[in-house]
Structure formats: structure tokens, C-alpha cells
């Protein structure tokens, strides 16, 4: 009987780790359970709010800068290369906090407090950086360190700044929280040099990656 219980428990954990959630556009995302939280293990790709309205896509630098300066939601897509889906889209803070909702029902963009829970679960901000990073695509990984054991699979997607410059692919990735401080949105970043996964202030017009956490 004990063996059967252990088997069913392992099966349940495996199911949680490989479950999927789909967005309004039908994109399916792998999920992973880390401590008491369930996270998407891939970056968001949706181009539609939950009420069906399209999220505006920047076609050029001028459109991106204008949206940020006016406090309007917008995203930029990858350059239609083979790694587009893996890296997801980059959204400004106004898109991820829009009242129409960017996340599927039962999910939401994490608050800064929820990022803190994740960090605590993984041991510390320093340990979180190592455990959250994928072993793929990062430049200058320390080959003596075991990366990625959380299953979060953070990839170095970079950032598009509020001024319209795309930076840091291969060396950094930035994730929004829905929290704000003064006139800034709070975010987290994973870095090539394994700096701690601490909270940081970001301009709301920046374009960052988005992960979701289950309600």
C-alpha cells in the first residue's frame, strides 16, 4: 500500500510539472510547480486581452516610444526567427496591468510579493538566479554550476527600452511584476553573471518578458 501511495504521489507531481495552460490565442504553455506556487515555464506570447480586444503591436520604434509616453498598452514580437516562440513577446507595463486582463482565467501576472515567495522557496536571491535559468542560449555560463533545476527555464530574451532600443539578448532576461513603486514598475532579472534575482525599478515603457502564476 505504501508503495502505491508513493507511486501516485510521484505521478501527481509529474502531472503538475508537465500540465499546460492556454491563452486567448490558443498558445499552450508548460507549467511547473515550485513550492506552493504553479508558474508558466515559458514566456507569454498572447496578442489578445481576455475580452477579445487585440493588444496593440509596435510596428516601429516611433509607435513603441509613443505608447510608453502616453501610458498605453503595447507589445513587440520577436523577429519571426525559429526561437520566437521560446522567447515570447516583450510587453510594456501598461499591457500587463490593463484591466482587460492579459492572463488566462485562473492565472495572473505575479506581484512583487509573489516573486519574493518564489525566491524564498529556492533558498535566496542568489540561488534563485541559478535555479531559474535555462541551460540553453546563455552566454558565459559557469560550467561548474548546475543551472535550471527548478524547471522555470528562464531564457536570455533581453529588453526593449522605453526609448526603443533592443538590448541584452543572450546575457539578461527581465520579468515584469504587476506591482509598482512611485512611477516605476517593479521587475526581476536573470543575468549572465548570476547576480541575485532581486526586485528592481523599471520604466513602465520598457518591454519585458512575462511569466504567469496560478491564482
Return the domain boundaries, the chain: 2-214
24 phi and psi angles, rounded to 5 deg: -65, -25
Helix 125-132 and helix 112-121: axis angle, to 10°?
90
pLDDT at residue 80, as a whole number: 52
Identify the band that residue 85 occupies on the pLDDT scale cut at 50, 70 and 90.
low
Whether the predicted pLDDT of 3 surpasses 50: no
Whether the predicted pLDDT of 8 surpasses 60: no
Percent of the chain with pLDDT over 90: 82
Nearest to 178 by CA among 157, 151, 208, 156: 208
pLDDT digits (tens, 9 = 90+) for 33-73: 999 999 999 999 999 999 999 999 999 999 999 999 999 99
CB atoms inside a 10 Å sphere around CB 7: 10
Q: What is the 3-state secondary structure of 110-139?
A: CCHHHHHHHHHHCCCHHHHHHHHECCCCCC
Q: What is the mean pLDDT of the chain?
A: 89
Amino acid at each position: 500500500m505504501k508503495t502505491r501511495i508513493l507511486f501516485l504521489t510521484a505521478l501527481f507531481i509529474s502531472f503538475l510539472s508537465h500540465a499546460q495552460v492556454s491563452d486567448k490565442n490558443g498558445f499552450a504553455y508548460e507549467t511547473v510547480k515550485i513550492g506552493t506556487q504553479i508558474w508558466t515555464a515559458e514566456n507569454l506570447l498572447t496578442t489578445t486581452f481576455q475580452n477579445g480586444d487585440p493588444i496593440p503591436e509596435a510596428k516601429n520604434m516611433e509607435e513603441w516610444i509613443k505608447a510608453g509616453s502616453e501610458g498605453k498598452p503595447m507589445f513587440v514580437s520577436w523577429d519571426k526567427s525559429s526561437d520566437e516562440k521560446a522567447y515570447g513577446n516583450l510587453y510594456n507595463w501598461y499591457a500587463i496591468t490593463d484591466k482587460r486582463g492579459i492572463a488566462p482565467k485562473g492565472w495572473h501576472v505575479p506581484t512583487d510579493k509573489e516573486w519574493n515567495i518564489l525566491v524564498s522557496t529556492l533558498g535566496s536571491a542568489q540561488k534563485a538566479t541559478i535555479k531559474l535559468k535555462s541551460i540553453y542560449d546563455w552566454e558565459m555560463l559557469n560550467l561548474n554550476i548546475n543551472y535550471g533545476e527548478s524547471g522555470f527555464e528562464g531564457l536570455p530574451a533581453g529588453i526593449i527600452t522605453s526609448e526603443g532600443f533592443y538590448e541584452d539578448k543572450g546575457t539578461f532576461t527581465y520579468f515584469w511584476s504587476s506591482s509598482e513603486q512611485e512611477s516605476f514598475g517593479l521587475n526581476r532579472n536573470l543575468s549572465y553573471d548570476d547576480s541575485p534575482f532581486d526586485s528592481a525599478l523599471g520604466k513602465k515603457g520598457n518591454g519585458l518578458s512575462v511569466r504567469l502564476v496560478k491564482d
